[in-house]
Structure formats: C-alpha cells, structure tokens
Amino acid sequence: MFNELNHLLDVSAVNNSNGDIGSGSLDGKHVLLSDFTKDDGAFLVHHFISHFLKAQQVSPSQQPPSCAPPAINVIVVSFAQSFNHFHCVAQKFGLNLRQLRESGSLVFVEALKELGDAIIHQGRGREADAEEEEQGNTFCSVLRDGDMSQLFRRLNFYMEDQEGTNRRPVVILDNVSVLLTIGVPLLKLVTFCNTLVASVCRQKGGTLVTHLILNDEDEQDRMLLKHLIYSCDCHLQVTPLSTGHSNDVHGELIRSTEQPAREINVQVAEHSTDTCTLNVVFSGIFSVTHSVTRLTL
C-alpha cells in the first residue's frame, strides 16, 4: 500500500549519491493530512515518519569509516501521543526510534510539554494577577494569550542544526487541532502554522507535514482546515467510503494538489489498513470536469 502511496505522491525513499533525503517532489512543500474523528488517518503520519527516516539513512558502503552521526533532519512534533506510542508503531516498519533519537537522526518534541513550560514561565511573571483569578482558570487564561513563540523558537533551534549540511529539515506535526481544543485562539494557531511553512518550506527548502483530526460539527475545526488548505501544496484527506461500509476497504484517500494555474487536481484512493490494498482513482481537473476513471493496482 505504502509503495503505491509514494508513487501517488511522486516521492522515492532511495538516497542519492550525496546522501540527501529522497523526498523528491516534497522538497519545499507543505503536505496537509486531515481526517475526522470517526476516521483513522494516523497511518499516514506513521508512514511519513518511516519514509523520511529510512530515506536519510546512508548504506554502510557509502559511509566513511570515521563518519559522524547523521545530522538532525527529521523533527516529529506530537500534540497528543507519547514517544512510546510512535516507537511501538515504528517497530512494525522496522525502525527503532529510541536508537534513532539517541544517534541524533530524530528529534521528538512533546509540544504540550513545551507549551506547559512556557505557561509556567509566564505564570511566574503574573503572580499578582493570578491571585485575582480562580486557580483552575490560570491555564486557560494563559492559553488565550496564544503565545506560540516559545514552541516556534524551539523548533527553529532544531532546524538551525541543519546549517552547513546537505540535509533539509523535515518537520511533522501530529494533530495540531488539539491546540484548538485546549483554548489556543484560531488566529494564533494559523499564524504559527503559516510561520512554520515560511521557515521550513520557503526559507530552508524542507518539508512540513501537518496532521489534523477534525470534528465535522466544530466550526473552528472547519475554519482551521480551510486556512491550511490554502497554504498547503498537497492535501491528503481520509474519508469514509462514498459507497458505504465494506469489510475489505476501510475508506478513501483523496489527494488534492494545487496546480500553477490554481486549479485543483484531485485523485482518490481507496485504502485498507488490514489488507494493505490501494485502489487508485484518478479524476480530471476538479474545476473543469467531474469525470472519474477507476484504476485498481
């Protein structure tokens, strides 16, 4: 299934002679992953983590005897799951995230912990005001200030380690919609994401992968999705089967890319996480025609 997905995205996991990440068409791109609470699109996050970690590895025959550990270039930012969760899933892909983190190949950032440290720091500077607030509301009141600068500075610090190397940063954000749930203002969150796009993709030529888990009844979730669709270069959306329930296929994977003329090219793929089958459906330019041709791989 995942080889077909890489083909759909026009990426390759093969290293070139310089040892660069084989991200192909994803260099300098923002990839948006979205699914709803009733659908499970987390497999896409794990696929991208596995893809980029494997792509950065240089074979022993290419590696000099005194070669230093690979430069940090894969940064995973989790807003919901723990490192142990990602480690257990990565083992199914043949990866040991603990070893990769210790060797410097992977940086794992617990985003809520970073924000919590920032909140504690801000809280110490406003002790006088805190006496006038209920203790249970202090956390939310600081979040409403929407200060995401501490987290951005930390990510930028990790990305600056790329300077002087041939590797470009890859930043993977897992479920940033959690921030809306805990009270971060929509405008502040959109600004944070747009700043990352400018830094990772435009300035450093790297790849940003953003994952959203949405509540289709939440207006702010829908607005966040619209904002990020506007800034992304490729949108992968996991949806239920349009034909109804199936025991063999779990849902559809819709790929939308922005063309130079701002026309949207849509490709639909049926996916099954158990049987690892991928039935790809190619459509024409969305703004011109809705005709669909089915091709089963």
Each residue's pLDDT tens digit, 260-269? 434 445 555 5
Helix 149-160 vs helix 186-196: crossing angle, to nearest 10? 10
Cα 114 to its chain centre, rounded Å, is 18
105 with 74: CB under 8 angstroms?
yes
pLDDT band at 196 (very low <50, low <70, confident <90, very high): very high
Each residue's pLDDT tens digit, 84-118? 999 999 999 899 999 999 988 899 998 887 766 65
As separate numbers, helices (DSSP H) first and strands (DSSP E) second, the chain gives 11, 10
Cα 163 to its chain centre, rounded Å, is 22
Per-residue pLDDT at 172 exceeds 90: yes
Architecture, CATH, for domain 26-54+69-234? 3-Layer(aba) Sandwich (3.40)
Q: What is the pLDDT of residue 73?
A: 79
Domain boundaries, the chain: 26-54+69-234, 240-297
Cα 217 to its chain centre, rounded Å, is 23
Strands (E), 156-205: 170-174
Handedness of CA 273, 278, 279, 280 (dihedral sign): positive
Tokens 């829908």: give the residue. Answer: 222
pTM here is 0.76
